Amino acid sequence: MNVIPPKDINLVPFVSVDHMMKLVLKLGVGTVLNGIAKAIEDDFRRWELFDKTPRVASHSKEGVIELMPTSDGEVYGFKYVNGHPKNMKEGLQTVTAFGLLADVNSGYPVMLSEMTILTALRTAATSAVAAKYLAPKGSKCMAMIGNGAQSEFQALAFKALLGIDELRLYDVDPVATEKCMQNLEGFGFKMTACTSAEDAVEGAQIITTVTADKQYATILTDNMVGSGVHINAIGGDCPGKTELHKDILLRSDIFVEYPPQTRIEGEIQQLPEDYPVKELWQVMTGAIEGRKAPEQVTLFDSVGFAIEDFSALRYIHGKLKETGMYENLDMIADPDEPRDLFGMLLRASVANPDLPSPAL
């Protein structure tokens, strides 16, 4: 699936944070979430075309820095992303990211983009796409445990794609819940601030867990999860970090993005390496069933995968001409003769007499 290189391939379209915010506002949050969701679904249906590898991670006691690459044979994409839970206490984002698309034929980049906002959008879109296939039909109420930076995006994606209109919210920090409720005013939700996770899940058909602490945690215990619910577990996303009690996993049908990565980073790191799980792309292609019975407990053990980032970048690239939300960066050297890179440097010194000539 080609992306079209710019007319001057030495200039690379760059989508800044300001551009991304304006693009989302110009098109509408719901439109963007639906568009990214469609791109993800389309790419998952051609899953077998993509290069796939667990993300390349550099872990430290403070957090993780990761590269997430993939290619469909025509377009290459990667995302650089960090995850540092301690950042919030220092006034910094827990997650930041940027990404790139490149033309496989030439190797030249065709777009560089911020992905802190875009990752939040694609994570929410992926959750809602999975719930289309796994959540109880007609679901209207979602519990959301963890009301930080991802929470509003999750709520809006589930409203846009599934029609969720009731939220039961809980966070260990009541200020986070208050922030979430204020931000979502005017979007048509009935919202309840809950005093505990147990209170939040009461009456919910979908339970989303999206906490940030880098540790083995038990956000949901087995007795909190009744039959017939769908669990959207997106907070467990690195080794040593989980949110669900093991007993919940043992009585759920578990769906994942890419098993080799999820077994390292997801909730299923608590289970034996050969424990059976189902791949979401196979549900989308109809190769396997998603939700089969009303009483079934389904679990989307999401850790985020490179193809989702590829899809989100591809969607944004497709909106550049329509929105004009980008600027060109002079990123690629363009000597008059490809082998004469040093000559290009010499000519720059002639064109800029205030600069010294190249010298040892």
236 near 242, Cβ under 8 Å?
yes
Place of tokens 């034996």: 272
C-alpha to C-alpha distance for 39 and 45, rounded to whole angstroms: 10
Amino acid (one-letter) located at 334: D
CA 188 from chain centre, in angstroms, equals 24
Q: Residue 238 pairs with which residues in a beta bridge?
A: 241
Rounded Cα–Cα distance for residues 246 and 243 (Å):
9
Residues 167 and 188 sit within 8 Å (Cβ to Cβ): no
Question: Are 248 and 220 a contacting pair, CB within 8 Å?
Answer: yes
Active site residue 18: no
Which one, of 155, 145, 273, 304, lies nearest residue 221 by Cα?
Answer: 145
Give the count of beta carbons closer than 10 Å to the beta carbon of residue 245: 19
Catalytic residue among 43, 171, 237, 301: 237
CA 9 to chain centre: 28
- The strand pair at 75-83 and 97-103 is best described as antiparallel
Distance of alpha carbon 32 from alpha carbon 334, whole angstroms? 35
Residue located via tokens 């997801």: 266
Calculated CA dihedral for residues 182, 31, 28, 233, nearest 10 degrees: 30
Strand 56-59 relative to strand 64-71, pairing:
antiparallel
Question: Which residues, 6+ apart, have CB-to-CB distance to 31 below 8 Å?
Answer: none
107: left (phi over 0), alpha (psi -120 to 50) or beta: left
Nearest to 234 by CA among 267, 203, 206: 267
Catalytic residues: 237
